[in-house]
A = this chain, B = another copy of it.
Amino acid sequence: MAADNPEPIIAVGTIALDTVETPSGRVEDVVGGSGAFFALGASLLAPVRLVSIVGRDFSHWDDLDRPNIDLEGVRRTDGKTFRWGGKYRDNINLRDTLFTELGVIAGYVPELPAGYRSGRTVCLANIDPPVQLRVLDSLDHPEFVVADTMNYWIQSQKESLLEVLRRSHVLILNDEEARQLTGQPNLFEAVQEIQKLGPATVVVKKGEHGVVLAGRDDYCALPAYPLRRVVDPTGAGDCFAAGFVGYIQRAGSRSFDTMRTAAAYGSALASFCCEDFSIRRIKKLSLAELEERVESFRRLVHFD
């Protein structure tokens, strides 16, 4: 890994108060949201300037307080913080959303601090596509745009999402979403159609089955890091994006080979995320621990 002083990543995403029930237990009003998971994860590898919004009821600043996270872009405003509630089934890959209370996210128009505008690497974590577009519009010359999305936006904001894709270099989504976005049951075909929409590189997350990274001519497939026990998968996808973008930024290269290793960092970070509720495990994770897991991961998939 190169780059002693990686440039900051500009990231936009939600900060949420999550209420989550899994077979391992239940937590209430704990820190969640794509922006929070992304910032905490990626900050192990590169500085993050976070663009987000919370209500006056948000009090978990300690959880986001890290030397590598700049919170100047997080607006505090009247109203309630975005809340999400979900319950995972015994098959932890299945979850039901119990409630979504948009709160201050509704009608959010992000304003970037002046110092953020020169950012060249941007992660548009999972949030309303018009918000993602507004962040893109606010940047002077975004060079490397990684977009994350989810089924909800594919249904409800397809036009804005397509505009995001036109301006993105990498799209991260799950297999079901790839099929939903393109109407293609075959994942190969789906990926090729997505590439026609803009992003040269498509990362398809398959949960416990790992991840596929597709460039124009290159292909990489990695299994998920095997966990003996998944406590709470919430945020694992955001943590994948965090490890992926964080590693690329730290390496100072956007080659496909760099992205292969970045996918391993993303998978490793996602696996840590699942080991405890909310941001608990990610928050106390060290870079050395992350690198050690990437090393185990390397052994896992290695053959002579």
A228 interface residue (CB < 8 Å to B): yes
Please encode chain A, from 262 to 304, with 1 for each CB lying within 8 Å of some chain B CB and 0 for all others: 0110000000000000000000000000000000001011111
Interface segment among A13-21, A152-160, A218-226: the answer is A218-226
> Which of B90, B223, B304 meets A210, CB within 8 Å?
B223
Q: Which residues of B contact A301 (CB under 8 A)?
A: 220-222, 301
Residue on B with the closest CB to A189? B228
A79 interface residue (CB < 8 Å to B): no
A185 interface residue (CB < 8 Å to B): yes
Question: Bound state CA distance, A206 and B228, in angstroms?
Answer: 17
A257 interface residue (CB < 8 Å to B): yes
Q: Which residues of B contact A209 (CB under 8 A)?
A: 206, 209-210, 223
A99 interface residue (CB < 8 Å to B): no
A188 interface residue (CB < 8 Å to B): yes
| Interface size band for A | 20 to 34
Q: Which residues of B contact A205 (CB under 8 A)?
A: none
Q: Which residues of B contact A188 (CB under 8 A)?
A: 226, 228
Q: Min CB distance, A233 to chain B, in Å?
A: 14
Please encode chain A, from 149 to 173, with 1 for each CB lying within 8 Å of some chain B CB and 0 for all others: 0000000000000000000000000
Please encode chain A, from 106 to 143, with 1 for each CB lying within 8 Å of some chain B CB and 0 for all others: 00000000000000000000000000000000000000
Q: Which residues of B contact A263 (CB under 8 A)?
A: 303
Q: Which residues of B contact A304 (CB under 8 A)?
A: 257, 260-261
A5 interface residue (CB < 8 Å to B): no
A91 interface residue (CB < 8 Å to B): yes
> Which of B223, B257, B264 meets A221, CB within 8 Å?
B223
Check B220 against A264 for contact (C-beta < 8 Å): no
Check B210 against A226 for contact (C-beta < 8 Å): no
Q: Given A221-B300, A221-B301, A222-B303, output 8 extra A-B contacts at Cβ < 8 Å.
A: A186-B228, A186-B229, A220-B301, A220-B303, A221-B226, A223-B223, A260-B302, A261-B303
